Structures are given as C-alpha cells and as structure tokens.
Amino acid sequence: MYLRDLITLTSSSFLTYRMRSFLTGLGIAIGIAAVILLTSIGEGLHQFVLKEFSQFGTNIISVQPGKTQTQGGNVGIFGSARPLTLQDADALRRLPYVEYVIPGLMGNAEVRFEGRTRRTMVLGEGRDFGKAFTMKVQSGSFWTDADDEQARAQTVIGSKIQQELFGETNPLGQYLRIGGQRYRVVGVMESKGQVLGMDMDDAVFIPAARAMELLNRPGLMEVNVSYRADIEADVLIRLIKNRLIEVHGREDFTIISQEQALEVLSSVLGILTFAVGALGAISLLVGAVGILTIMTMAVTERTAEIGLLRALGALEQQVLVLFLGEAMMLSALGGGLGLLLGIGIAQGLHLLVPALPVHTPWLFAALAELTAVTIGLAAGVIPAMRAAKLDPVEALRAE
C-alpha cells in the first residue's frame, strides 16, 4: 500500500465525520495550545529575566555577608551574620585587576523637597557606581569624596524623583530631605525603567556610610567588585576570598559572580518553563483519551468494513496501519491547529500586554507536534490492534 493511498483512505473518514473529527482533534489542539502558550511565556520570561540581570554589566562579582552552606537564598543579607564593612570594601579595592569596588545596601525612606514628599527606595552606594554599572548619569555626576566613611551628604536622584519632586526646577545644587537629613543633589540619573520589578528611576543614591546610618544598619548588604574584562572570574573570586579571610579570620561571606548567578538563574527558569509545560501536557492526556474513545467507536462502527477489507485481501498489518494512521492523522491535525492557536494566543497576549514577554522556540513547536503524533499513535494502538485481530467471518456478518 502506498503512503498516498493511506492518506486518501484515512482522510476519507475525516471528511465523512467532520464534526466528530474536529472535536477530537480539538482535544489535542487545546493540549498543544496550552503547552505552547505556557512554554512561550516561560521562555519569554526566561530571556527577559536574563537580559534584565545582565544589563548592569557582567564583569561584576558580588560579595554578601554570611556563608551560604547550601544552594538558595543567603540569610546574611537580612541580618545576623558578621557584617561586611566599608573597611572590607577598601581592602578589596587594593587587589590586583580590580577596577571599581562599590559597597551597597538599600532600604526605604521618605524624601521631601519644598513640601512635596515621596516614599522611595534609598540605595547606599559608592562613588564609582556610575562607572562600574551600566547606568548613566544624565546631568551632574556622582560624589567624588575619596573617603567612603566620611562622604558628605550628597545624593544622585533617579529621573522619576526629579519629575515628581522638582518638576521644572533644576535639581542640581538643591537640597533634598532624605529621612529627615539634608542632602545636596549632585546628579540626576538617566531613566532606566524597571529592573526585576524595581523601579530604578524611583530611587535616590546616597553614600553607603550615610545609608547605613539612615537605615540604621550595622553593615553592607553587598560589595560589588568590577574587574578587568580580560580576567577570569575564578581568579578574582580566589583573590577576594583570600583577602577577606585574611581580614575576617574565617569565611563568613558568600561570593557570587554574575556568571554563576546567570547560570543558576537560567537553570531555575529552565525548570520553571519545563514544569509549566508539563502542566499543559495534562490536557494533552485528556486529548489522548478522546482519540482512544473515537477510534474505539470507529472500529465498532466499521466492523463490517474491516471484514470486507480482509476479504479483499488486506493483511492484518494493513488494517492496523489504516487505523493507526487515522489516529495519528487526527492528532497531527489537532496538533497543528494547537500550534497555530498557541502561537496565536501568545502573540495576541503580547500585543495586548506588551510588558509580557513571549517567545516560542521552533524546537518547542516541533517537539509539541511530535508529541501530538506520538500521542495519537499511542492512543490508536489498542483500537487498531483490535481491528486487525477481528475474525473476518464474524466481522463481515456485522451490519
């Protein structure tokens, strides 16, 4: 039997039972659409988050207080371990290959200018913040006080703070009250927008020493070290580790390189995408049951026809292939429809909510279609075997 004939014969039954075939295919289509839609969103998020993460720059190693014993969050950020200090930051600044060291911590405070107040994010940073990270100062500059400990009360404000509090007034040289203390505005940041859900424009940057005092914190949340691009992260990690152990006497800190962070993040997001896709796969299972049902019905309805085919000299194997082919074709068509639906809905969502990133990798689409066909094959096996094993004499008698 030629493939072309197989297609003619199997498609003849779709054309006859249009509604029924459509509904059965729809079961698979919904499953595939769900998988495609969810993985598209998952993959979109994946790429989005990776982009967000790396937009600060990649040659950065972050040191956080407290030792992480296992994978996962580091409790040191929130408190009890021995803090990282500005002296630690100074010690790291003297290491070779290091370009900038930026001590950092963050919190919330009220900022006020001429009767207008706003609650905003306060970022305690070092003077080299604008150089180390890929964030630009639009006007003015960061403070230049060489001694982090003695830095004067100066601030660089985000673009949103400028709009909301200063309006038309040129903020440079003005005094802004942050948590009750007066800060002279020395710079305005370029608009950066949201980064991982934090609005970097709705923030003020002040010297880290001042931030510790303002936020009433014993130490830094992190020290970011930027290093020369031609140096391996591992080299720097070893240097930083040795130096800090020298200072602290033991390893009570955690070093995270951007590379590692991206790797971990990437794998977490990969698992997320997979899990979400697996969720969608449950609806595929339901679709498979639909195919099983319809094929079982088809075998019963066409018993006489199967008898006839056998009388005309069809081999058991040919009957098997005919019914398997029909099940596969049903699911392949359903799968195709599902692909269109899934990609369509994903793109539609993206149009409606531009903030929601979607991305459908071709590999996923191909795998989804392959899955659909495999499901059809699996669901078709039992009915098709039953059809092939029918006794021709008995089958012919069925009317």
Partner 1 sequence: MIELQKVCRTFTVGDQKVAALRDIDLSFGAGEYISIMGPSGSGKSTMLNMLGLLDRPSSGTYLLDGGNVTDLNDEQLARVRREKIGFVFQSFHLVPRLTAAQNVELPMILAGIPVDERRSRVQELMRNYGLSERADHRPDQLSGGQRQRVAIARATVMKPTVLLADEPTGNLDQATGWEVLKLLEGLLEQDITLVVVTHDAEIGARASRQIHMLDGRILSDEQQTK
Give residues in contact with partner 1 (CB under 8 A): 1-2, 4-5, 8-9, 12-13, 15-16, 304-305, 307-318, 392-393, 396, 399
Tokens of 256: 């995270």
To the nearest whole angstrom, how small is the minimum distance from the Cβ of residue 48 to partner 1?
50
Closest CA to 379 of 339, 324, 317: 324
Give least dist CB 10 to partner 1, A: 10
Quote the CA–CA distance of 362 and 343 in Å, as a whole number: 11
Q: How many residues make up the chain in this entry?
A: 399
Nearer of residues 121 and 388 to partner 1, judged by Cβ: 388
Least separation in angstroms between residue 194's CB and partner 1 is: 58
For partner 1, give the closer residue by CB, 1 or 278.
Answer: 1
Q: Give the Cα separation of 51 and 273 in Å (integer).
A: 17
Neighbours of 302 (CB within 10 A): 18
Q: For 87, phi and psi rounded to 5 degrees?
A: -65, -40
Which of 290-293's residues contact partners 24+ apart within 8 Å by CB, and which partners? 290/23, 290/24, 290/27, 290/28, 291/24, 291/27, 291/28, 291/327, 291/330, 291/331, 291/375, 291/376, 291/379, 291/380, 292/379, 292/380, 292/382, 292/383, 293/24
**For partner 1, which is the closer residue by CB, 110 or 394?**
394
Is the CB of 66 or the CB of 325 nearer to partner 1?
A: 325
* Nearest partner of 149 among 219, 209, 220, judged by Cα: 209
Is residue 254 helix, strand or coil?
strand
> Nearer to partner 1 by C-beta: 115 or 313?
313
* Residue 324: strand, helix, or coil: helix
Min dist CB 23 to partner 1, Å, is 18
Handedness of CA 146, 149, 153, 156 (dihedral sign): positive
Of 14 and 56, the one with the shorter C-beta distance to partner 1 is: 14
The CA dihedral of 155, 159, 162, 163, to the nearest 10 degrees, is: -170
CB of 284 to partner 1, least distance (A): 28
User: Smaller CB distance to partner 1: residue 6 or 340?
Assistant: 6
Determine the straight-line distance between the first and last CA of the chain, rounded to whole angstroms: 27
CB of 393 to partner 1, least distance (A): 5
Least distance from partner 1 to the Cβ atom of residue 7, Å: 12
Given the complex with partner 1, which of 38 and 294 has the nearer CB atom?
294
361: its two tokens = 């990798």
313 vs 354, which CB is nearer to partner 1? 313
Minimum gap (Å) between residue 299 Cβ and partner 1? 15
Residue 399 beta carbon to partner 1: minimum distance, rounded to whole angstroms: 6
- Measured CA to CA, the distance from residue 266 to residue 140 in angstroms comes to 37
